Amino acid sequence: MAKQVLELLPEELIQSILDLGEKKFRAKQILNWIYLKKITNFAEMTSLSETLRLKLQNQFYTTLPTVIQRSISIDGTKKYLLSLSDESKIEMVLIPNGKKNTLCISSQVGCARNCQFCATAKLGLKRNLETYEITSQVFLAIQELGEDKLTNIVFMGMGEPLDNFDNVIKAIRILQDDLCFNFSPRRITLSTSGVIPQIAKLADTGIKMKLAVSLNSAIQTKREIIMPISTTYSISELKKTLIDFRRKTSYRITFEYVMIKDFNIGNEDVKALLRFLGDISCKLNVIKWNEVDDLPYKTPSDKEIEKFINSMSVLSSAITYRKSRGADIDAACGQLAAKYIHNVKE
């Protein structure tokens, strides 16, 4: 059975090349063509013999997802609707910011976690993405950027990354490997709704990356309303797990807090959040809720946002107000898949 090269770690490709009766250095030549020269067609790898190129075409493939729609925001953000080999659809988002270009990638087709403020939850979970379907998004983004550099990758698209643990972790290893994408661990962020067993497992892998936790309320009963995962994994359990995670890892944890009008930005919410974060080495990113059709929530006013942020200013940790990007094309936080379920025929 043919192997997808974008799913292979260098040592796996090397072994496959040795199994073909070829020398080890041929694998590095192939990796150089793919990851440095961005050539995925074996026929174009002219430093390889014609015999080897024919072998490779029989043993491997490098098919990428098909871009079926590009949407460009007034702020320069680009959203891509991708079709996979089984015609499943996912979305990825490229966010330019000065010299930085951040790619928001998906890890699942849909999502099972059913967060009530998120458009992807409407889809339910269709399936996990394969490792190559994750790395392929990065490859596509690099192609799209051309001369510009992709600087950051965030697992904040469709799906709960830790529900697709093995494939996501392998993808991150490929993204970080010197012979592949060669991304620095500090340039990769994985966002989770709080899957406690997998957070603990992640800490024990030894793999380095930044962890972001979608919190959205530090009050157990409120978090249960908007994030059903909290009925399985309580806030108190989550905090204990994250403190242990922080002891084992290099980077501060980032907490993401979506501000929802008349729900999670009142005085009691501020007090609960200060208590929760007070003894954790962390950063806090706050972002206003982005409207999604058919959901009952509202976006707070600028004055309400300012009041909430000012109330949190006593926190010793860094607080960042992350302004929404790409909201006009439904590419902002929580909006992915909001429209394609209506506009794209399955």
Phi/psi for 15 (5° steps) reads: -65, -40
Give exposure, 242-281, as e/b (b: 16+ Cβ within 10 Å): beebbeebeeebbbbbbbbeebbbeeebbebbeebbeebe
Six-digit token string for 3: 């192997």
End-to-end CA distance of the chain, in Å?
28
Give the contacts of 88 (CB within 8 A, at least 6 positions apart): 109, 126, 127
| Ramachandran category for residue 236: left, alpha or beta (phi over 0 → left; psi -120 to 50 → alpha) | alpha
Pick the CATH number of 66-337 from 3.90.1300.10, 3.20.20.70, 3.40.50.2300, 3.40.190.10: 3.20.20.70
Whether residue 102 contacts residue 151, with contact meaning beta carbons closer than 8 Å, is answered with yes
Whether residue 195 contacts residue 242, with contact meaning beta carbons closer than 8 Å, is answered with no
Q: Which helix (H) or strand (E) holds 67?
A: strand 66-72
The vertex-332 CA angle with 320 and 337, nearest 5°, equals 145
- Cα 301 from Cα 260, distance rounded (Å): 10
At the topology level, CATH places domain 3-61 in DNA polymerase; domain 1 (1.10.150)
pLDDT at 341: 43
- Cα 189 from Cα 151, distance rounded (Å): 12
- Active-site residue numbers? 91, 333
H helices present in the chain, as ranges:
10-19, 24-31, 50-59, 131-145, 165-176, 196-205, 220-226, 229-232, 235-248, 267-277, 302-311, 340-343
Domain pair 3-61 / 66-337, same fold? no
pLDDT at 333: 78
Task: Report domain extents, the chain.
Answer: 3-61, 66-337
Q: What's this model's pTM, rounded to 2 decimal places?
A: 0.94
Tens digit of pLDDT per residue, the chain (346 long)? 899 999 999 999 999 999 999 999 999 999 999 999 999 999 999 999 999 999 999 999 998 999 999 999 999 999 999 999 999 999 999 999 999 999 999 999 999 999 999 888 889 999 999 999 999 999 999 999 999 999 999 999 999 999 999 999 999 999 999 999 999 999 999 999 999 999 999 999 999 999 999 999 999 999 999 999 999 999 999 999 999 999 999 899 999 999 999 999 999 999 999 999 999 999 999 999 988 888 889 999 999 999 999 999 999 899 999 887 887 887 667 767 645 544 443 3
pLDDT at 332: 62
pLDDT at 206: 92
